[in-house]
Structures are given as C-alpha cells and as structure tokens.
Amino acid sequence: MRATSLGQAGILVETAHGSIVCDPWFIPAFHGSWFVFPRNDQLDDDLLARIESADYLYVSHLHGDHFDEPWLAEHLPRDIAVLVPGFPTRELDNRLKSLGFTNLVRTVDGEELTLAGSEDGGLTVAIHVETSITDGPGGDSAIVISDGVSRIVNQNDCRTTDLDALRAHGHVDLHWLQYSGAIWYPMVYEVDNTTMRHLVDAKVESQLARAMRYVESVGARAVVPSAGPPCFLDDELFPLNVVTGDEPSIFVDQRTFIARLAASGHEGILAIPGTTIDVTPDAIAVEHPLDDADVAAIFERKGEYLDRYRADWMPWLTDLHRTWDERPETDLVPAIDEWFRPLMVMCPTVREGIGAACLLRVTGSTGTLEILVDFPAGEVRPYAGEDYGFRFEIARPLVEQVVAERAVDWSNSLFLSCRFRAWRDGEFNEHIYNFFKSLSRTRMRRTEAEALRKLHPPTEVEPDIELGGWIVQRRCPHRNADLSVFGEVEGCEMICTLHGWRWDLESGQCLTARDHPLRVSRPVADRGTI
C-alpha cells in the first residue's frame, strides 16, 4: 500500500486492488483565508494524473478545506465512485449530486465494505461518522482503509468519541490525524494580550493532548500529522501564522506534534505534499518530493517560505478583494429577519440557551450597519442601543455573500475565515454558534433536539468513575465524551481533552462556559467516613 500526501487532509491511497483519493483540497478556502501548508500548487504532473484517475473519491465532510467543490467539479470524472459517509442527513449527497457526480456509494457507519477483490484479500473501507453539532449537523467522518496486508486510519479532523471503533478492524500501520488548530478561537476575540496568550496556550495544549489520546488508543506503527495547519497569506491574516512560536495563534505546525510523539515513544512521519509512504509488513519507507535539506528549510526558514508563497498568490488575492469591493449592498435587515425568524420559532431551547441578543456590526463602503439578532424576542431588527451579550464585527461583502447564498453553516462559510472580530459578555456559549451552524429547517430541527436532550437528559446514567482521586460522572456534560478516556485531573480542575473544557472539582462548576456542571465528589475514604 502507498499513501501520498496531497496537503492538509488530502491523501491518495494506492493499492493493488484500486486507489482512493481522500479530501483533495487545492483552491484557497473560507473567503481566500486558508491556504494549504506546505503549498500543494506545485505537485508534479504524474501525481496529478494519478489523482484524477483514482477509482474512488472520499469526502469526509462539508468544510471547505475538505470539500473543494470548484476543484472537484473541474478535475474528477462525474462517474467516479464516491464513498459517502452514512450521515443522518443527505446534505453531502445533495451537494455532490449538484456538482454532477452520479455514482454515490453510501456507506453504513462503522461497517466494513469490500470495494474490490475478495473479503480476505481486497480493498476494504469502513467509514465512521461523528454527528456532534460541534461540526454542524452535517457531521464529520474518518475512514479505515485496508488492502488485506496493510491498514490506514485516516482520521483527518474527526473527533470521534468511540476510540475502540477505529482500532476494531485490526492492526493499524499508518494513523493520519489532526493535531493543530482549525478554528477561529481565541484569536478573533477582543481580550488583552496576557489573556490571549493564556487562551492560546491552553487551546494548543488541549489540541495536542486530544491527538495523543487518539494516537495511544489506535496504536499504529507510525503517525502522520495531517489536516493542518493551514497558512494565511492575506496581509490582514498573516500574523495568524506561527513562525517564531511567539505568535498568539493556535496554528502550530507539524514539528510541534512530531516532537510530542517522539517524547512519548511514538514514530511520527513528516509529510509534505507529494511525500509518498510505502507500507509493507516489514517496513515503512518515506520519500519526499524534495531533498531533505529543502524539506527542512520549509520549517526552519518558514517566514521566508511564506513570503515567497504569498508573493505568488498576491495577484489572486488582489482580484478576490476587488470582487468584494464590487459587490452591491442590499437591504440586509429584512433579508436576515425573513431568513432567521422562522428558524428562531423552531428553536426555543436554543434561544433560551443563548439568553441574550447578538449585535452584528457590518462594515462596508457606505459606513457601518448595526443589526440586532434578538434571540429572546425571536426577531431581527436595526440596532437601537439595546443591551446585547454577543457582538460580531464583519466586513459587509462577506455578510452579503452568505445571505445571498443562504449559507446554512456560517461556521464553514464565514467564521472559519477568521475575517471577523468577536466579543461576548461572559464565558463561551455553545448555543449561539450552534444556531449559526444550523440555518436551515433540517439542521435546526436536529440542533433543537440536541439542546432539548441536554436540558432533559435520560434518567438512566452510567456509573461514575474515579479519576485522579475524584469520583466524577463518566460522560462529559459538553459533548458526551467518555471521561475515563479523555478526562485529566490537573490540580483542582478536571479537563476533557476532546475539546479542552474545564471544571472546578470542588464545586463541579464549568470554567469554560456557563451551565454544563459536572457531577463530582471525593472518594468516600478521602471524606473521612467509613
């Protein structure tokens, strides 16, 4: 089996029984914010031809750094067999069909499917889905690929909570997974420098700790850091790149995670776009498209590398900004009200969880428009000085675009661009982001049901567990992660490393967001009773 990195989460897996191209991403995503790092716009013609003639396409989920619609529409044949995760909704299926793809192979969550050859000597896949609202109701997925001799787990950025599932298919040779930042938090928030440094460091540590839990659980022969980081070439976003290591940014690169792997006794493989990894029972052979000195220079002289990369793409970015300047301004308030108001009727529990109004401060060529999304009242109107609990400041052309497109997931279509500023009164509130990820009737129905489930959980609960000298509930109040796997006690705090949420162990109070208390107590012996 051969696995070739295509950059970010992109992989071309080639076997004697067929080939699968996974998450090919080439065109900058999220309003021209995210670029592949290291760059993948200089792959050789032979590799590009092999990608375009692959037998199967796998798209893990709908985010723009995995589902590159313009590139797919231009480069892959419409009759290619597309391996579709068994998500509860058909959003991905419908988007693929809209691009003209006709041969969709819908899989069943976690079930192994033989694509070619026989069951004991062919090409098999098992796609595991994660349907947390965190990634939008569209879901996320990971794929396990085997040719009967070798096996790859391509987890990309799927935060599966069932660790046993990924290793249940047998011994794993290569484990590709995310370790770096892939969100706008905390960099877009208005906080002082000291607080920002603390938030960034905590987020990075949480990302690395979560990835290590997956590494230890899967137990692969070698681990390939993938699915990030992106890099940022537009001038306003360039400071988000981690070059010296002192930048207040969560986008650490492959070297950071490979060092963590080595310290824990795991083999990490540095892959750049074009790197091939050949796997046999006896060896894992790595070949880069550049000589070792040039590969090292990408990271050791990262600032120079990014400057050259930026210069090559600056004409493209200039044209992109010109299209924004030329976009006409529309009457946004009634358009957003018409769109949001019926959705707010559908989600009283979500609105209660948000608990305050949100100010959209939209800046354009004609000035600033302030729009109040009044969640308690369930309406959208011009801002007139009312109190609010959340504020987003966004360039008007971007808002005009997502409104015109009726983009159902502002996380994917707007927030991941990092082209906004945010403020909130108090701690993180997941409900407001869940609302903006669910801007269709289908999505909002699932999001409201999830909010209701949390408000009125099942009466039967799993037995509590002992963790670091404390008795705590087994399931994380945030995303139901198994704390016997993802929980860590640090002083008087409990951390769920799946998403980095924290609780005060003395009180059970959530330190990351309001509500979400943790059931916790000292063991009986520690309380001095018999």
Mean pLDDT, consecutive 10-residue stretches, the chain (530 aa), reads 98 97 98 98 97 98 96 97 93 96 96 82 92 68 96 94 88 97 95 96 95 96 97 97 96 97 97 98 97 97 98 98 95 98 96 96 95 98 98 98 96 96 94 95 90 72 84 84 82 82 88 84 58
pLDDT of residue 219: 96
Pick the CATH number of 465-527 from 3.40.50.720, 2.102.10.10, 3.40.50.300, 3.20.10.10: 2.102.10.10
Where does residue 527 rank: exposed (0-12), middle (13-18), buried (19+ CB within 10 A)? exposed
Altogether, the residues listed in the chain come to a count of 530
In the chain, residues under CATH classification 3.30.1050 are 332-454
Is the Cα torsion angle 182, 188, 189, 194 positive or negative in sign? positive
What is the C-alpha separation between 526 and 474, in angstroms, rounded?
Answer: 20
Q: Which CATH class is domain 332-454?
A: alpha beta
Q: β-strand 222-226 against 174-178: which pairing, if any?
A: parallel
What is the C-alpha separation between 85 and 211, in angstroms, rounded?
Answer: 22
In the chain, residues under CATH classification 3.60.15.10 are 2-312
pLDDT of residue 477: 85
pLDDT of residue 223: 98
What is the C-alpha separation between 168 and 213, in angstroms, rounded?
Answer: 16
Cis peptide before 186 (omega within 30 of 0): yes
What is the C-alpha separation between 252 and 263, in angstroms, rounded?
Answer: 17
Measured CA distances, 447 to 68, 95, 208 (Å): 26, 21, 28
CA atoms within 13 A of residue 197's CA, in its CB half-sphere = 6
What is the C-alpha separation between 479 and 499, in angstroms, rounded?
Answer: 8
pLDDT of residue 136: 55
Q: Which CATH superfamily is domain 2-312 in?
A: Ribonuclease Z/Hydroxyacylglutathione hydrolase-like (3.60.15.10)
What is the C-alpha separation between 386 and 449, in angstroms, rounded?
Answer: 30
pLDDT of residue 530: 33
In the chain, residues under CATH classification 2.102.10.10 are 465-527
pLDDT of residue 216: 95
3-state secondary structure of 334: helix
